[in-house]
Structure 1
Amino acid sequence: MSQKLFELDGQVALVTGAGQGMGLGVARSLATQGARVVVNDYYPERAESAAAQLRSEGFEACAAPGDITSAEVRDSIVATAEREFGTVSILVNNAGVPPGMPDSLRQFKDLADEDFELQLDLNLRAILGLTRRVMDGMVEQGHGRIIIISSESWRTGLQFGLTNYAAAKSAALGFMRHLAHEVGRKGITANAVSLGTMNNFGDYAEYAKATAVGRTGTPEDVGAAVAYLASREASWMSGQVLPLNGGSITA
């Protein structure tokens, strides 16, 4: 009897920023495929609520809240995952929107140094730190998936005031490509999903018109892409950026 496609039975997935929206969609998709899911969110009540929701749907899930820009919190989150479910085999670096964004978007000339540090802390340093924390376990078991949720803002210029955000996202993609070569022969892949306009920040009807499919993205769209990258079937895909944008950018 053949194994069903994209099966994740026995895998432990840690998803950051998974208390709502795209992150929760990713957590649900991984759980649907059989993974035991650790839900991180900056806000404890959101992490707990999302984990409880997944459990009510029949999935194995636990909450590990906290600010992942803190090294101590990163250690605590991974320790929770290992205590509850075992070695983390799937790390989804989804958290990427600091509190107050997008309302705080400003043009480059109006940004202070701390505005860049905020984005670098969340969209680069936290990814480096969490990856370092789970890497030994992945190497020991000979299997792992590092997945970064990125943004198409790294690929194309926009007028919205995203220079600091896009700079940090671009840096994380450079890290991902080199990591893929360092760990590929140890059974570990590293990839990114680059999102176009999603439906999580209000009414984007005008942006939907610019896509080939005529709509913005959903949590289910993101979850499906991540479930593939997390699977054994994606073992020959590494160091890649998967555009998920509805056809708004086709090159």
Structure 2
Amino acid sequence: MSELFSLEGQVALVTGAGRGMGLGIAETLARLGTTVAINDFYPERAEAAVRQLTEQGLKAVAAPADVTNYEAVQEMVRNIEAQLGRLDIFVSNAGVPVDGMGYCKFIESSREDWERFVNLNMFGLMNACHCIVPGMIERGYGRIIAITSESWRAGLPMGIAAYAASKAGAVGFIRHLAAETGRKGITVNALSLGTMNNWDSEELAKKTCFVPRAGSPQDVGAGVAYFASREASWVTGQVLPLNGGSLTA
């Protein structure tokens, strides 16, 4: 394995990694040498993802928990650190509530609809960072990567206003956390995803992206791997659009 972009011997936690983009991130990090703690709301999904990786000779453990529950996250982080020694990399990927997106125009939505997205995309990220960052500060090293969405940059008539607002909040949070932790050996960045292939999106992507296809878990994994690397040690507080060219401003 080339030493360039190697993550050999590091420990990562990826939330919402039981399938889809999260699993792609976990697999990429594992292939670069990390032991990956795979979080999912559903224990059976986390365990299935671990089996999928370990059958390939990769290192992974299951870490099921509801990231919107601070105490559950606190216990999850304690268990990972007890089992694996530390956490070097945290990827906040969980972004769709367990009961689905529930597309709805804002004026027709309820406070409960908004809270589902804020609880997951803001408090889920903040819960984990609050539990993980002290250990990173103590060790003088850490990589935090939030997965956000281009919906925070562009208004869309899709009925996802609360989702977009929660993603925008996550972007604001990572920039301030980067400012607080940059002198302590920790970088904090975000990947902002465009049209991905986790839904029926190929035709849309062909029409709207300079690179005429939807994004894949492997695309997201590569972006995370860069931010997680030692080579990206001078990159913090940044948002990298991963969108095939659908937005360029």
Structures share fold, TM-score greater than 0.5: yes
Q: Distance in 2 between matches of 1:208 and 1:25?
A: 22
Q: Which amino acid aligns with 1:22?
A: M
1:211 is matched with: 209
2:149 is matched with: 151
Q: Distance in 2 between matches of 1:80 and 1:27?
A: 18
2:169 is matched with: 171
Q: Which amino acid aligns with 2:179?
A: H
Q: Distance in 1 between matches of 2:159 and 2:176?
A: 28
Correspondence list, 1:20-99, <5 A = 20-99=19-98
Match of 1:243 among 225, 241, 244: 241
Once the two structures are TM-superposed, the CA of residue 100 in structure 1 deviates from its matched residue by: 2.9
Q: Percent identity?
A: 53
Q: Is the 8 A contact 2:24 2:220 kept in 1?
A: yes
Q: Distance in 2 between matches of 1:81 and 1:202?
A: 35
TM-score, reference length from structure 2: 0.97
Gap runs ≥5 in structure 2: none
Once the two structures are TM-superposed, the CA of residue 3 in structure 1 deviates from its matched residue by: 6.2
Q: Which runs of 4+ in 1 moved over 6 A?
A: none
Q: Distance in 2 between matches of 1:3 and 1:106?
A: 47
2:106 is matched with: 108
Q: Is the 8 A contact 2:195 2:201 kept in 1?
A: no
Once the two structures are TM-superposed, the CA of residue 207 in structure 1 deviates from its matched residue by: 3.0
1:234 is matched with: 232
Once the two structures are TM-superposed, the CA of residue 154 in structure 1 deviates from its matched residue by: 0.3
Match of 1:122 among 120, 123, 126: 120
Gap runs ≥5 in structure 1: none
TM-score, reference length from structure 1: 0.96
Once the two structures are TM-superposed, the CA of residue 204 in structure 1 deviates from its matched residue by: 3.4
Provide the alpha-carbon RMSD of the alignment: 1.2
Q: Which amino acid aligns with 1:70?
A: N
Q: Distance in 2 between matches of 1:195 and 1:208?
A: 16
Q: SS where residue 96 of structure 1 aligns? A: coil
Deviations 1:192-219 (A, max 9, x none): 0000010002343123321001000000
Q: Distance in 2 between matches of 1:3 and 1:24?
A: 23
Q: SS where residue 242 of structure 1 aligns? A: strand
